[in-house]
Structure 1
Amino acid sequence: MEEMREEMRQQKRLAGVSLAAWRALLCAGAAAVALLPGLAAASALEQFKSFVATTKSAQGEFSQRLVKADKDGKPRVSQESTGTFTFARPGKFVWLYQKPYEQLLQADGEKLYIYDRDLNQVTVRKLGNALGSSPAAILFGSNDLEKNFVLKEGGSKDGLEWLQATPMAKDTTFDQIGIGLKNGVPQAMELRDSFGQVSLLTFKKFERNPPLKPGQFKFVAPKGADVFEQ
């Protein structure tokens, strides 16, 4: 049984669904929103600052791909993960991987809960300051991002205006984060780590400031799940 569990963990790591892979977001298409006035030709930094200032919550769908260099040095895309997300600033979110494996990452502003359905296991961590200098802060954190990142223009690519965010902290997982924007909302992120790997996130059906249910971010451990506090 333990060998089967270990094999499953290995498969999830390759698919980009494990906790280590999710740090492509923590340290995370066409937008289903109206065009914000004055942002059609705005720079990436202008669009980004407007998005942060006016977006208190959002929901949508995502896809995630991990790009690695093969033995010949050519980029190779691993299996793609897809799912949904909901967030409310600061520090509350539900990030649900649905395919190829189901895994839930949820935060209530104080704690982060990681639920692996196949193992029926929950890992609980204090959210603390971990959000501050991580890629997740771009979507889920406070509005004062320039405390933790150096922001600069990254030029145009793939029909998007790109912003480069470099973490000020030296002990983060990622060396550089790219945010691709169009019509005033993030549509893609590129997360480059110190090992030369790139995690690519794309968003679709991005809805800004949707109505949220009371207790939307309260985590309830599934029946019979093993819970580990870290």
Structure 2
Amino acid sequence: MKKMFVTLALGALAAAAHAGAIDSLENFVRNAKTGHADFTQVITAPPRDGQPGRTKSSSGSFDFQRPNRFRFEYRKPFEQTIVADGQTVWLFDKDLNQVSQRKQVKVLANTPAAVIAASPDLESIKRDFELQPLPDQDGLQWVQATPRQKEGQLTSMKIGFRGDQLAALEIQDSFGQRSVLTFNNMQVNAPVNPQTFHFTPPKGADVLQAP
């Protein structure tokens, strides 16, 4: 009887710890109105022709202002800028001197940005994602977010928190690619210059209208 009680108690503690990951997500989307962080990103392609999957790494900075505004500034190994201004998502490749633009409403649904920058509350996220707490790993609490619509490129996403602070994203897409973003030096609710989320194509750049 004593052994059974201990087992049940440990199970209850584990369930409470897992549920804490959902609480961390809810607190983040409710309380983090703006944010700035440095990030590293590692993309691993699936194995092909008997060869192991290749990886490529990049790094830069990330800013967001809820709802629907964010900026990824890639600095290494190549300079790229992705800006969502609330209406349009802009992607600028400096080496190609090329800009693509797309209506934001067509882009954000069922993407990581819908969680970390767009949605103002947990219920909004639950409309697009099925949420499930995962066991703690690498010192982080994890939430699995699976898109309810299956036709998009995103197939699953894990969101890692250190307390209520966003620490990592692990993204799996329909092409078998795995992308891991790690956030460092996260500053929440610090003042953000509105121009951060404004983009004007550079003079002479090719501007493409994406479908």
**TM-score, normalised relative to structure 2:** 0.84
1:62 corresponding residue in structure 2: 39
1:115 paired with 2:92, answer: yes
Cα distance in 2, alignment partners of residues 191 and 170 from structure 1? 15
1:47 corresponding residue in structure 2: 24
Q: Percent identity?
A: 39
Given that 2:69 and 2:197 are in contact with CA atoms closer than 8 Å, whether structure 1 keeps it comes out as yes
Given that 2:44 and 2:56 are in contact with CA atoms closer than 8 Å, whether structure 1 keeps it comes out as no
SS at match of 1:43: helix
User: Which has a greater percent of helix?
Assistant: 2
What is the CA-CA distance between 1:175 and the residue it aligns to? 1.3
1:100 paired with 2:77, answer: yes
Alignment of 1:127-166 (within 5 A): 127-143=104-120, 144-166=124-146
1:175 paired with 2:155, answer: yes
Matched AA of 1:100: P
**TM-score, normalised relative to structure 1:** 0.77
Cα distance in 1, alignment partners of residues 194 and 172 from structure 2? 36
Given that 2:18 and 2:133 are in contact with CA atoms closer than 8 Å, whether structure 1 keeps it comes out as no
1:217 paired with 2:170, answer: no
What is the CA-CA distance between 1:43 and the residue it aligns to? 1.3
Cα distance in 2, alignment partners of residues 146 and 42 from structure 1? 15
2:58 corresponding residue in structure 1: 81
Given that 2:18 and 2:135 are in contact with CA atoms closer than 8 Å, whether structure 1 keeps it comes out as no
Q: Provide structure 2 residue ranges, at least 5 long, that are not aligned to the other structure.
A: 1-16
Cα distance in 1, alignment partners of residues 21 and 27 from structure 2? 10
Given that 1:44 and 1:153 are in contact with CA atoms closer than 8 Å, whether structure 2 keeps it comes out as yes
* Shift in CA distance, 42/215, structure 1 to aligned 2, threshold 3 Å: same
Given that 2:130 and 2:147 are in contact with CA atoms closer than 8 Å, whether structure 1 keeps it comes out as yes
1:186 pairs with one of 166, 171, 180 = 166
Cα distance in 1, alignment partners of residues 194 and 161 from structure 2? 30
1:10-31 CA-to-partner distances (Å, cap 9, x unmatched) read xxxxxxxxxxxxxxxxxxxxxx
Cα distance in 1, alignment partners of residues 51 and 164 from structure 2? 33
Which has the higher Rg, Structure 1 or Structure 2?
Answer: 2
Given that 2:70 and 2:83 are in contact with CA atoms closer than 8 Å, whether structure 1 keeps it comes out as yes
Cα distance in 1, alignment partners of residues 101 and 49 from structure 2? 40
Cα distance in 2, alignment partners of residues 74 and 119 from structure 1? 30
